[in-house]
Amino acid sequence: MNMKTRRQFLKTAGLTAASVTASSLLSGNAWGRAASRARKPNIVFVLADDLGYGDLGCYGRQDIKTPVIDGIAAEGVKFTQYYANGPECSPTRTAFLTGRYQHRVGGLECAIGNGNVGRYDDAIRLRETNDLGLPVEETSIARMLKDAGYATAIAGKWHLGYEPKFAPHLHGFDHAFYAIGGGMDYFHYIDNVASYYLFQNGKPIRREGYFTDLATDEAVKFIDTHADEPFFLYVPYTAPHSPFQGPDDYKPDPLPLDSPLWNQGKAPPDVYIAMIEQMDKCIGRILKKLDEKGLAANTVVIFSSDNGGTGSARNTPLSKAKGTTFEGGIRVPAVARWPGAIPSGAVSDQACITMDFSASIVRIAGADVPPGREFDGIDVLKLVETGQPPQERTLYWRGRRGERTRKAVRDGDMKYIWQTDGKKSEEYLFDLKSDVAESHDLLEKRPRQARRLKALLAEWEKEVRHAR
């Protein structure tokens, strides 16, 4: 068949030049890709750790090279108003896997402390009874997809419970290769309290190598093994979370526990750049394997971050950083690609949140949500696929650590923030449409709007109150 005829075939099959390379055309893999559309789409969800809103080329950063992630945006959609469910990692991971506000679970409004430490009253209470983590009863989307006929895997960071009863292979993941907690030495897999972190299907294992590479090795191997069936692959990297170690920074001994490289807000700039660029290259390895297996045209690829960047990141043009409910703590980059369904080069200004992707994934997979488990998110990818204009949303956040509480509600373009350290409380009101940097507090000028949003927040807190 000549090239003109092949191109016509691809057009009829709903494929594009962006999703099928010239080499695959010449090798005939385009036929396999078209045939693969007859089966359920594969889904790959990649999650960075502590990546700032402005840390990618497609979000304006010039000194970090991220051609692979930028390519996903160019071949699909870039979201400009996408939020993490929480200002720290465990909350967002909980929301992603359950499709619901993490507050419904209990104990996971804050990152679980290294060594399995509860960091606020509810988490401390659950830790005392060995119940600090994501219960299996909170049916995960991995379980939903597994029940719908998908092969499922996690390769990366878990951070949803140290107890064996919380292990990811019990949540519906057929294959689970993971770091059990938060930040860890990228080469020796221990954290700054010397806990050992690397596990496979619930059992501690020994490996050698840079963790970003190891997680990618597992992801690529999983695609190789399951290329003939629909699969869901969750790749939550630890990069660029501290400790700050690039792929060439191996030392024979673990990083000293008092090393400044554990300080999240003070990364050496060149190391921070190397960590992100290595993650981008590793995502490229995953996409290459999809290409090699003729799966790219029938695979949804999503990339995002678990919370806003630290002081080491570039959150431009947003204010503040990780741990806060200001925009820099919760607004994050997000891009998605699905050839033939998501238009290339799309930009979405839809206000959306991590658990919206959960709803999209379950819909795309044709999976069922268990009775009584209604999602809190919306199917945001469907809005992009159908070209719908942005819908007004009301989104909520609350994060707790010790005596500190951070709350926020966004309704339309208006955002209300309330925070306390246990002694002093502060309130703010911003119009994000005209002031995305949150530099002009409107609390005194618009008290009625502030009261309205504060009331919405209070009602939401009652509605999501957990029973555990």
Which residues are annotated as catalytic? Answer: 89, 159
Q: Structure tokens of 31? A: 């036929």
- Burial class, 433, CB count within 10 angstroms (exposed 0-12 / middle 13-18 / buried 19+): exposed
Helix or strand or coil: residue 154? strand
Alpha carbon distance 153, 134 (integer Å):
17
**Do 308 and 84 contact (CB within 8 A), yes or no?**
yes
Element (H, E) at 232: strand 231-236
- Residue 141's CB is within 10 A of a number of other CB atoms, namely 28
Element (H, E) at 285: helix 269-292
List all residues 6 or more positions away from 465 whose beta carbon is below 8 Å from its beta carbon: 103
Q: DSSP assignment, residue 260?
A: G
Q: Alpha helix locations (H) across 2-59?
A: 3-13, 22-27, 29-36
Strands (E) located in 371-424: 394-401, 404-411, 414-420
Strands (E) located in 92-202: 151-157, 175-179, 198-200
Q: DSSP assignment, residue 261?
A: G
**Do 43 and 290 contact (CB within 8 A), yes or no?**
no
Helix or strand or coil: residue 418? strand
List all residues 6 or more positions away from 192 whose beta carbon is below 8 Å from its beta carbon: 114, 183, 243, 257, 262
First to last CA, the chain: 63
